[in-house]
Structure 1
Amino acid sequence: MTSSTETATLQDLPDMQAPPIVSHDAWAAAHAGMLVKEKALTRARDALAAERRRMPWLAVEKDYRFEGPDGSLSLLDLFEGRRQLIVYRAFFEPGVHGWPDHGCIGCSMVADQVSHPAHLNARDTTLVFASRASQPDLARLKARMGWTIPWVTITDDFDADFGVDQWHGHNMFIRDGDRIFRTYFINNRGDEAIGTVWSYLDLTALGRQEEWEDSPAGYPQSRPYKWWNWHDDYVPGAAPDRKWVEVSDAGEAAFREDRE
């Protein structure tokens, strides 16, 4: 970090092998070539998400219990009435680096990049963090770090049974009434880019639930962009904002060539 009176230059990095400096036309050509590869990657990522939505489901047979701010909760309770649930195992407990003032540095970075949960909730999906620390400890940590993510205390073998007793990870679930199914699991480097609405939804069984997606027949889908709203203005079951539909329709028309 330079002071206000210093100017950073590449001379500060004497071993750095910088790319060539080129004309505007040469730069535009290089960018166009890179864009072709980026579009291919985007389509490959979409295809992988489509394959993920066709993964078989695993029934959850045990009655797992958690502690929340208001008392004991079941795994079903964590859904908060929604169809899908994402549970991130965050390490904040005795024996973890940073205890008792902080959680794991990596898990804390994940928490820092979580987008507002209202957008996930609008897609019938709930996000919950789970740790072994007590609720008073979790409340203290959330207040210190400015986090508002729903966060429960693990009280049984949930972490061991779902591959997150020794390492972080996200488990995805879906429910059919009172029946719960595990649909996907991701950890390691798969966790590092998690945090946006889209990164979460792409890992779920139902995906983004938009019409352009390749999903099995009967999956819920609606027009892209139209379901978006300000995070403090979602109303369950309400029609899309009419003015926003007009604005987004105009934007789509202007960029019809490729929605990606």
Structure 2
Amino acid sequence: MMTSAEKAGTNGQTAMQTPPVVSAHDWEAARQQLLVKEKAHTRARDALAAERRRMPWMEVSKTYAFEGPGGKVSLADLFQGRRQLIVYRAFFEPGVFGWPDHACRGCSMVADQVAHVSHLNARDTTLVFASRAPQSDIVRLKQRMGWTMPWVTVTDSFDADFGVDEWHGTNVFYRDGNRIFRTYFVKSRGDEQMGGTWNYLDITPLGRQEVWEDSPPGYPQTPTYKWWNWHDSYTDGAAPDKKWVEISDAGEKAFREEAAGERQ
């Protein structure tokens, strides 16, 4: 039986060169072969994140001001009391395609992909979007599109100083008392995978903060899985739920056994 792509070729259309159709046994063999490379890719990604956590920091000595829903705020205020801050420069302002009804289509796709920020907050991390549109327009856009992440208005040279005045980009900052440091920056295609909790945490200086990670000595780390929670159930300083600890312990044990079998 021909596939739909093969039938297209018989009708004078350019046929899609699809892969061969094989038995379940051969399909599983092909999947296992690819899985070796996929796991190598995962390990390489983890190693890259570990290297990223060891990048040098640049102190931010200049004062920056933004407009938020409640008025003027500083860069330090954007942390909302947390140690880590991720700022995505989204293009929503006069001159941008879509204005005033929409933000840039690419930036809007990024916004649509953002996971619930409570998971980032639980790892001492705040995510903020920043544009040059007035707050009244930002509030209206967020309501229309169903976006809930904090979104401020850039009022000075912040975007130019951090490489995002003519293109989108994501900057990461760390706060140590009254001192603020720029720790990472990603733009262009590097931005396209952003939105997930893990992708965001992997570009922060503290990472996912789980014990399996290769982080410098003294970095905060907690048992894997134990801090995970429903997004409406996080409580600062609360101990992990006992039932979830049991479930995650069982899952972790199964993963370790699987990994041990692969090494044999």
Range into which the TM-score falls when normalised by the shorter chain: over 0.9
Report whether the alignment pairs 1:187 with 2:182: no
Identify unmatched segments of 5+ residues in structure 2: none
Q: Which residue of 2 aligns with 1:136?
A: 136
Q: Which residue of 2 aligns with 1:168?
A: 168
Letter of the aligned partner of 1:222 in structure 2? T
Cα drift, residue 22 of structure 1: 1.0
Once residues 93 and 125 of structure 1 are traced to their aligned partners in structure 2, the CA distance between those partners, rounded to angstroms, is: 27
Cα drift, residue 252 of structure 1: 1.8
Cα drift, residue 96 of structure 1: 0.2
**3-state DSSP of counterpart to 1:258:** helix
Q: Which residue of 1 aligns with 2:199?
A: 199
Once residues 73 and 178 of structure 1 are traced to their aligned partners in structure 2, the CA distance between those partners, rounded to angstroms, is: 15
2:4 to 9, 14, 22: 9
Q: Which residue of 1 aligns with 2:211?
A: 211
Q: Which residue of 1 aligns with 2:121?
A: 121
Q: Which residue of 1 aligns with 2:247?
A: 247
Once residues 70 and 190 of structure 1 are traced to their aligned partners in structure 2, the CA distance between those partners, rounded to angstroms, is: 32
Letter of the aligned partner of 1:71 in structure 2? G
Q: CA RMSD in A?
A: 1.3
**3-state DSSP of counterpart to 1:183:** strand
Q: How does 1:75-86 map to 2 (within 5 A)?
A: 75-86=75-86
Q: Which residue of 2 aligns with 1:156?
A: 156
**3-state DSSP of counterpart to 1:144:** helix
Letter of the aligned partner of 2:26 in structure 1? A
Cα drift, residue 248 of structure 1: 1.1
Once residues 22 and 169 of structure 2 are traced to their aligned partners in structure 1, the CA distance between those partners, rounded to angstroms, is: 43
Q: Which residue of 2 aligns with 1:22?
A: 22
Cα drift, residue 73 of structure 1: 0.2
Cα drift, residue 9 of structure 1: 3.3
Number of residue pairs matched by the alignment: 252
Report whether the alignment pairs 1:233 with 2:228: no
Q: How far does the alpha carbon of each residue in 1:130-173 deviate from its partner, in whole angstroms, 9 at most, with x for none?
A: 00000000000001101011000000000000000000000000
Cα drift, residue 249 of structure 1: 1.0
Q: How far does the alpha carbon of each residue in 1:158-192 deviate from its partner, in whole angstroms, 9 at most, with x for none?
A: 00000000000000000100100000000000100
Moved over 4 A (4+): none
Once residues 114 and 84 of structure 1 are traced to their aligned partners in structure 2, the CA distance between those partners, rounded to angstroms, is: 17
TM-score, with length taken from structure 1: 0.95
Q: How far does the alpha carbon of each residue in 1:92-144 deviate from its partner, in whole angstroms, 9 at most, with x for none?
A: 00000000000000000000000000000000000000000000000000011
Cα drift, residue 27 of structure 1: 1.0
Letter of the aligned partner of 2:86 in structure 1? I
Cα drift, residue 26 of structure 1: 1.1
**3-state DSSP of counterpart to 1:123:** coil
**3-state DSSP of counterpart to 2:259:** coil
Once residues 238 and 230 of structure 1 are traced to their aligned partners in structure 2, the CA distance between those partners, rounded to angstroms, is: 13
Once residues 73 and 98 of structure 1 are traced to their aligned partners in structure 2, the CA distance between those partners, rounded to angstroms, is: 27
Letter of the aligned partner of 2:259 in structure 1? D
Once residues 155 and 201 of structure 1 are traced to their aligned partners in structure 2, the CA distance between those partners, rounded to angstroms, is: 27
Letter of the aligned partner of 1:184 in structure 2? Y
TM-score, with length taken from structure 2: 0.93
Name which of structure 1's ranges 81-90 and 243-252 shifts more when overlaid on structure 2.
243-252
Q: Which residue of 2 aligns with 1:40?
A: 40
